[in-house]
Structure formats: C-alpha cells, structure tokens
Chains A and B, each alone.
Chain A
Amino acid sequence: MIHKEAHLSDSLFTPEISQRPTRDGYGEGIVLAGRANPRVVALTADLSESTRSNFFEKEFPDRFFELGVAEQNMATVAAGLAVSGKIPFIASYATFSPGRNWEQIRTTISYNDANVKIAGHHAGISVGPDGATHQAIEDIATMRVMANMRVIVPCDAIEARKATVAAARIVGPVYLRFGRGKTPVFTTEKTPFVPGIAQILWQGKKPQVVIIGCGPLLHNALLAAKELQKQKLEVVVLNMHTIKPLDEKTLLAVVAKCGAVVTIEEHQVMGGLGGAVAEVLAKKLPTPMEFIGMQNTFGESGTPAQLMEKYGMDVSAIIAAVRRAAERRISIRG
C-alpha cells in the first residue's frame, strides 16, 4: 500500500490526477532560488521557453543570459561565473547539454569543482515525435561518471521544483534531469525531499521485489505495484531520485528485506540508475536484478505512450519484470 510518510497525492490512482511537465518545476525552482539568493543566475542556449528559463528571465532580466545556440560556450561561461561567486543554472536539451559539451563540463565544471547546476531537459524517449536525436538516454551515465558531480532525476513537477531549489543550496556541480511531456503530479508539498535520501513510495506486506526507479516512470511503477498487490505479489517502490550520491543505506536495507530488484529508468540500462544500483549490490549484497530501460538501442519518433509500450516501460512491462525477478528470487531464497 501507499507508504504514509510519502504523503502522495490523493488522486494518485484516478484519471483526474493533475499532469504537468517536470520542466515547469525547474522554471519555478530557479525563480525561488533566485529570490532566496541574489548570486543565482540563469543561462540558456536559444531554448528559453522550452526549458522554462523564461520564468527566471521575466523576474530577473539582469541575471539572465541568452547565449544563442552554443552549448559549449554556455558551459564554460557558467564555469567562469561560478568561480567568480555566481551560482549559474544552465539549461538546454540534455542531448546537447550535457551531451555536446561533455568535455567542457568535465574539465571546467566537474574537475574545477565549479558551482554550476546543469539542467538537462527533454530527457528520455517520452520526448516523442522529435525522434532519437532529441531523446537523451545516456545523460545519467555520462554525468554520473564524473567525479564531483551529483545527479538528481525528479519524478514530477513538484519534486522538480524542490530539487532545483535544493541544487542551489548544494555547493558544487549538480546535474538535474527533466522531461518534456506532461506527466502525473503524484507527490505533494508534504512529500519529503532530501537530496541523497531515497524515499519509499509503496510498501507491500512481506515484499518479494523492490522496484527502484527515478523520474516520471515511477508513476507506472506505482500502478504496477497496485495491480501486483491484487495478484498477491507484494513489492516496495523506492524513489531513487538522487543517483549520485546513491543512498546505499536505504538501498541495502530495502533490498535485504525483498531479495529481488527491478530498476526502471528512461535511460539506457547501461550506466544509469540500474548500473549504479548493481555496482553497490554486486559488492555488498548480490541480488537478482531486472533492468527496465533502453536495451542498447536508440529511440524513434512516436507518441510518448507508443514509445513506452514499444520499449517496454509501460505498466505491463514492469509487472512482467517483477514476475521474472520474483522467480529468480525463489530459485535463490526458496
């Protein structure tokens, strides 16, 4: 059942649940961060509106910078601002930033330990009709692998706002990942959000499998959990919004109780959330795992719902993965 302390939305399982893109949360978050701290500045590369940087531009025109279509320049200018005391938020599509400007981020932000917040928008295949060139499915891996970098993937617009505000308070580089389309707003103002602390969303009785996810896909995980409960298969759903630093303590405690894991992410199954979880478990608590995500392919054009189905991230795919994980668990634990 729904974990009480998560304070999820009452309309969680109803069609009336409100739908907003996580990028809206980014726009609201940078405005709040800007009000709280005059050192916060925002930059964009000819994508002011679609990254919601325009929210900040409107309120703080003097602290907003339009760099044109130049992501490499945006990252390095931000590094310069950061080493001069500013707290820059840079925003573009994730395929371009942190995709195209990866080396600039590595050298001038990460290695410099510059206090820059990188907002990667239009991440995941749910970008839809724009097609594979615009669907970032490698960004968690390429950011996670950098020393000094933190990686946060908010699950809805509210958590996105909280994560953006929190990122401004963290000293050092942070990567924040946002989606394009409207997705269910299933957390509430009361839902706890602390970077680096995973949150249990659903707690089954005597659970056999834990679904560990990040981003809007967690809503599908909750739908799957509810359906599985009807089918007498109990699970835990864990919101691992911070992929780096990973909350090992919560992870190990939950996995020890469940004995099997399904990870879900709108990302390649290599190197992302699933990879991060597997690294910890392989070392400290080897456990059967199933990985939901892009299986070493690119996305393509289509509606988000069609793509979720085709690439195996919809509710039925999650249920099937949980069943596979549960079976593998039995063969080990009995």
Chain B
Amino acid sequence: MLTTTKIKQMELEANAIRANIIETLVEAGSGHSAGPLGMADIFTAFYFHILAHKPKQPTWADRDRLILSNGHICPVQYVTLAHAGYFPVQELLTLRKLNSRLQGHPHRGSLPGIETTSGPLGSGLSQAIGVALAARMDKKTYRTYALLSDGEHNEGNIWEAVMLAGKLKLHNLTAVIDRNNIQIDGYTEDIMPLEPLREKYEAFNWHVLEVNGHDIPAFVAAVNEAKAIYEKPTVIIAHTIPGKGVDYMENDYKWHGNPPGIMDMPGEPPKKEQERDALRSLRTLGGSIECHHLE
C-alpha cells in the first residue's frame, strides 16, 4: 500500500540518495551526474516499493528483474542498491577505483543486484526481451523492467528491440524511458529528434504511458497500469529533469558526464564550491528550507 507516510518517506529517501550520489561521484573524481540525479525518484520507487526482491538473496529465482540499459547512470543504481541493503553503503566510496566491485559501468557478476553488463548504449531492451521471454516460456510470474535513456534511442538496436517486443506481445515487460531531453553533445531534439516518441512506440504496438518522473505515486500508478495490460508491452515515458535537485545542474547537458569539483565551467559555480553548493541545494530542497549543519 502506498500511504501518504510511505510516499513522504520515499521522497526523503530519494533526496538522501541524491546527496549520496554527489558524495560518491566527488570521491570517484569522474562519472555521470545529471542522469543519476534525474532518476533518483524512479530508482527509489523501484527498490523501495515496486520490485519483488530480496537484497540479501540477490539471485532469488522469482525476483523481478530490473535491467539498466543506459549503464552510465549506474551511480544512482549503486547508491540505491546500497541503501536497499545489497551491500554496505561505505563501499560506495570505492566507485571507479582499482579492485572495486563498483565498476565505472556496471558489470554483471561484480556486484549483487546487477542483472546485466551495460554502458555501451542501445542493447538493454533486447536483453530485457530475452529475460521476459524466458519468464513466459518457464511460466514464471516475475516482471521485467528495462530502464532506457532518451539519447540511446538514436541506436538502431533499440528499434529492432521495440519491433520485436511488439511482435511478441510481451506484456510482462515494461520499459521506462528517462526522457530528460539531454545527451552528450546537446539537447536530444537538436542532436537527433525523437518526437513524436509516444506515437512511435504506439506504431510499434506498445501501450504508452507518460508521467512526471519525479512524482513517485504517479509513477507507481503507471507501473500498476502496465501490469494490467495483457496484449502489449508497456513503455512509460518518464519526463525527468536532468540534474534534479541541484539547482545549477538542472536541465544543463554540460553536467551529463562530469562530477562536481573537477572543472570550472562558464556559468557554473567555481569548482571548489560545486560539491558544497550541490549538497546545500539538495538538503535545503532548493533553498526552500533551512539547513544549518552545512554552514
């Protein structure tokens, strides 16, 4: 049940995850900021409400499968997995370091909770189709979730998968698109226009839902609706704000691939202040509440 208290708890959890993402990235000294921050609400909803999973038994056969296709946003998955109890939170500080289980891009087998290796874009949906198809063949009831980015829809591989899932009527598969409108070289509609995205998926025989990706109850409702669709796979186009919660990063594609504290950029806080500003922005919810212990 999604009570008001639980919603509030999850919103606080998502914010704590964002703060941890910043700290983890600063310690790593490289890695992606905007995407992970933008997806914190959705990851919280998955690991703290939607998924059937057992963090202490990560290979439990009946678990729901969450397959991350845009592996570069793994900091949000790593932090969420740690918060959910898959491994110790302190281990986050090893991200991207030698001998770490937290590889720069997720590696299956290195870390509990990671279902597939990713980073090279465009191949997660195909793998999720394989997982969902196996469930159908084995009469398993777990659900498969594929998390995709908007930029990776430039890849032909994605559309091959979109076509196949429509053909197979894989209703146990739900795709979620991080529709944050940015990729590395700029805004998605400048680099390679995706719109009308909804109509494209509909034309490939998918059920399409659109939600505000920062509205946890709305997202949960969309996932539930997907479970009730029996003739088609469902895609949830989640409209998100890249860099969400850190005022100077929001909607700015320059923060796609940089952590705070690495470089001075025109129009951004000086690099020495980037981490502090980011954490302040998160802990004061964009300056709307006070937070003294940061000063």
Contacts and interface: CB of A to CB of B under 8 A. Distances in A.
Interface of A: 44-50, 66-73, 95-96, 99-100, 128-134, 300-303, 306-307, 310
B192 A70 contact: yes
Contact of B105 (A44, A50, A133): A133
Nearest to B102: A301
B185 to A, nearest CB: 5
A73 to B, nearest CB: 6
B212 interface: no
B214 interface: no
A47 B154 CA distance: 13
Interface string B83-102: 00000000000011111101
A256 B78 CA distance: 54
A72 to B, nearest CB: 5
Interface in B28-75: 28-31, 71
Best-surrounded residue of A67, A100, A129, A130 (most CB of chain B within 10 A):
A129
Nearest to A130: B104
Interface residues of B, number: 33
B19 to A, nearest CB: 21
Contacts of B174: none
Contacts of B105: 130-134
Interface in B117-174: 117-122, 151-152, 154-157
B183 interface: yes
A306 B98 contact: yes
B117 A302 contact: no
Contacts of A130: 30, 96, 104-105, 119
B154 A68 contact: yes
A129 B157 CA distance: 26
Contacts of B155: 69-72
A49 B185 contact: yes
21 contacts: A45-B154, A47-B184, A47-B185, A48-B184, A68-B183, A69-B154, A69-B183, A70-B155, A72-B155, A72-B156, A95-B120, A129-B96, A129-B104, A130-B104, A131-B105, A132-B103, A133-B105, A133-B107, A133-B117, A134-B104, A301-B98
A130 B99 CA distance: 13
Nearest to B190: A66
Contacts of B122: 69
Given A68-B151, A68-B183, 4 more contacts: A69-B183, A129-B29, A133-B71, A133-B105
A128 B28 CA distance: 12
B151 A300 contact: no
B192 A68 contact: yes
A132 B191 CA distance: 27
Contacts of A48: 184-185
A43 to B, nearest CB: 12
A99 B157 CA distance: 14
A96 B120 contact: yes
